[in-house]
Amino acid sequence: MIIYSIIKKSQLEGAQRLDAEYYCSPRLLSGDDFYTGAEVTRFVQYGTSEELNEENKGYPILRLNEFEEYFSGIPTKSCEKLNERQFEKLKLKRDDVLITRTNGNPALVGKAALVMKDSDIAFASYLFRIRPEKAKINSATLVAFLDSKFGRSEIEKYLMPSIQSNFSPAKFREIKIPKFPDVFQQEIDNSFNKAYSELQNSKSLYSQAENLLLEELGLKDFESENKLWSVVDLSEVKNAGRMDSEYFQSKFEILINRVARKTNTKRLEDIFDFRRGIFIPTDYYREKKTPVPYIRIKELANHG
């Protein structure tokens, strides 16, 4: 299938871009009943570019990795190079809209998430945040639109492709955003609040299930040894068919023995039927339709 677009020289001069993708990207939105990104933007800000650490030193910093579908999540990295004044300026507030500015995967660039409550969390530089003009669009509706196929169409038109694709606040200001009725926006906001409540409830239920399982297995208060060495017989190495030191750490044997005291143990191969998936060429699932749906890595969620 050949995709092409015929444009005028004035369009080239106006857009100041020569890449074909800009002019061939389908526009799913048409008409004049739209705001530009600039018209709905009340405040925009980049995150911190300071070095992060995994030792919880300093202030917690949110990244794209911690997005939970349409919501901001819990940071796993921190920054100790921010002073208190800088942190106060970067703290996330309720109804902030976080947007991915740059990433090696173009499909993630422009991904948006909603901040549901004020928190003592800042955010990283490959995100930027927007506070929209609420008289024109509320934050939940903006996130819902940006993460929809119609929003993606607008984002991809203005995406700057490279090794690290980029969607800057300047490009956000150029996209089209529909003028949604107030009643419709309120429904979107209500749905986001309900979804967030259910998400938090699911976390609580999952934690309860995890604690119950650990109690039944006798692992509730289990703390493994962190020895940097272990002594094994050569026969153990031969039987395992492995020589990497991690495999022979004593904490694994201690863990297995503790579980074995509480319940009968079996190898996974004695319980489950393992089968490999089939290889499907990229050009097949991009360009042709298949009568059989199939799952790829990108469709896997945390628990399903």
CA gap 47, 122 in Å, rounded: 7
From first to last of its 304 residues, the chain has per-residue pLDDT tens of: 445 566 666 655 555 555 665 555 555 555 568 999 999 999 999 999 999 999 999 999 999 999 998 999 999 999 999 999 999 999 999 999 999 999 999 989 999 999 999 999 999 999 999 999 999 999 999 999 999 999 999 999 888 888 889 999 999 999 999 999 999 999 999 999 999 999 999 999 999 999 999 988 888 888 777 777 778 888 888 888 888 888 888 888 888 888 888 888 888 888 888 888 878 776 666 655 666 777 777 777 666 7
Query: What residues contact residue 189 under an 8 Å CB cut-off, 6+ apart?
Result: 138, 140, 141
Cα of first residue to Cα of last residue in the chain, in angstroms, is 35
Please report the pLDDT score of residue 9 as a whole number. Answer: 63
Rounded to the nearest 10°, the torsion over CA 184, 189, 191, 197 is -170
| Torsion angles phi and psi, residue 110, rounded to 5 | 95, -10
Please report the pLDDT score of residue 247 as a whole number. Answer: 85
Q: Are 31 and 51 in contact (CB under 8 A)?
A: no
CA gap 53, 76 in Å, rounded: 9
Same domain, 25 and 144: yes
How many Cα atoms sit within 13 Å of 208 on the Cβ side?
6
Please report the pLDDT score of residue 201 as a whole number. Answer: 95
Please report the pLDDT score of residue 287 as a whole number. Answer: 54
Q: Indicate whether 196 belongs to any domain.
A: no
Which of 157, 181, 205 corresponds to the end of one domain? 181
Q: What's the CA angle centered on 206, arms 202 and 211, to 5 degrees? A: 150
Please report the pLDDT score of residue 1 as a whole number. Answer: 45
Would you state the structure tokens that stand for residue 169, as one six-digit string? 């606040």
Please report the pLDDT score of residue 40 as a whole number. Answer: 97
Same domain, 123 and 51: yes
Same domain, 51 and 130: yes
Burial classification of residue 2, based on how many CB atoms lie within 10 Å of its CB (0-12 exposed, 13-18 middle, 19 or more buried): exposed
Length of the chain: 304
Q: Indicate whether 87 belongs to any domain.
A: yes
Which of 149, 181, 213 corresponds to the end of one domain? 181
Give the CATH number, domain containing residue 86.
Answer: 3.90.220.20
- Residue 109 belongs to domain spanning: 9-181
Same domain, 166 and 250: no
Please report the pLDDT score of residue 53 as a whole number. Answer: 96
Same domain, 42 and 158: yes
Same domain, 275 and 165: no
Q: Indicate whether 267 belongs to any domain.
A: yes
Give the residue carrying structure tokens 């669009």. Answer: 137
